[in-house]
Structure 1
Amino acid sequence: MNKIQAVLFDLDGTLIDSEYFYFKNWAPILKQEFNLQINYEDWIRDFAGHTLAHNVKRLTEDYGYDVTEEHMWKRTRAAYADSNMSDIELMPGAREILAFLKAEDIRIGLVTSSYRSTVDTVLGKHELLDYFEFFVTRECVELPKPNPEPYRLALTNLGLPADRCVAIEDTSTGSTSALGAGTQLIAVTKQEVERARLTAVDNIVENLSEAKDLLAQWI
Structure 2
Amino acid sequence: MTRPSRIEAVLFDFDGTLCDTESRNIDLVRGILNRMGCPVTDEELFSLSGGDDRVTVPPLLERYGSSYTIDDYEAERDGCYRTYAEADLALEPGARELIEDLRARGVAVGLVSTTVARCILTALDRLRILGLFDVVVCGDMVSRRKPDPEPYLRALELLGAEASAAVAFEDSTPGTAAAVASGCHTIAYNQLALDQDQSAADEVIDSFVGLSL
TM-score tier, shorter chain, comes to 0.7 to 0.9
Once the two structures are TM-superposed, the CA of residue 32 in structure 1 deviates from its matched residue by: 1.7
Q: Is the 8 A contact 1:30 1:37 kept in 2?
A: yes
Match of residue 45 from structure 2? 43
SS in 2 for 1:65: coil
Match of residue 172 from structure 1? 173
SS in 2 for 1:50: coil
Once the two structures are TM-superposed, the CA of residue 78 in structure 1 deviates from its matched residue by: 8.5
User: Which letter does structure 2 place at the counterpart of 1:128?
Assistant: I
Match of residue 200 from structure 1? 200
Structure 1 ranges of 4+ moved more than 4 A:
61-64
Written as runs of structure 1 = structure 2, the 5 A alignment for 1:109-188 is: 109-188=110-189
Match of residue 13 from structure 1? 16
Once the two structures are TM-superposed, the CA of residue 97 in structure 1 deviates from its matched residue by: 1.7
Specify whether residues 74 and 192 from structure 1 end up closer, same or farther in structure 2 by C-alpha distance, changes over 3 A only: closer
Q: Per residue, is there more helix in 1 or in 2?
A: 1
Between the aligned partners of 1:199 and 1:63, the Cα distance in structure 2 is 31
Match of residue 3 from structure 1? 6
Q: Is the 8 A contact 2:85 2:123 kept in 1?
A: no
Count of equivalent residues: 209
Between the aligned partners of 1:81 and 1:199, the Cα distance in structure 2 is 32
Residue by residue over 1:7-38, the C-alpha shift from the partner in whole angstroms, topping out at 9 and shown as x without a partner, is 01111111111001101211111222215054
Between the aligned partners of 2:175 and 2:83, the Cα distance in structure 1 is 28
Between the aligned partners of 1:96 and 1:90, the Cα distance in structure 2 is 10
Unaligned runs of 5+ in 1: none
Between 77-86 and 182-191, report the one with greater CA deviation: 77-86
Specify whether residues 192 and 59 from structure 1 end up closer, same or farther in structure 2 by C-alpha distance, changes over 3 A only: closer
Between the aligned partners of 1:2 and 1:57, the Cα distance in structure 2 is 43
SS in 2 for 1:114: coil
SS in 2 for 1:34: coil
Once the two structures are TM-superposed, the CA of residue 91 in structure 1 deviates from its matched residue by: 2.1
Specify whether residues 187 and 70 from structure 1 end up closer, same or farther in structure 2 by C-alpha distance, changes over 3 A only: same
Once the two structures are TM-superposed, the CA of residue 152 in structure 1 deviates from its matched residue by: 1.0
Give 1:31's match in structure 2, choosing from 30, 34, 37: 34
Query: How does the TM-score come out when normalised to structure 2?
Result: 0.87
Between the aligned partners of 2:83 and 2:134, the Cα distance in structure 1 is 31
Specify whether residues 129 and 84 from structure 1 end up closer, same or farther in structure 2 by C-alpha distance, changes over 3 A only: closer
Specify whether residues 201 and 74 from structure 1 end up closer, same or farther in structure 2 by C-alpha distance, changes over 3 A only: same
The CA RMSD over aligned residues, in Å, is 2.3
Between the aligned partners of 1:145 and 1:90, the Cα distance in structure 2 is 22
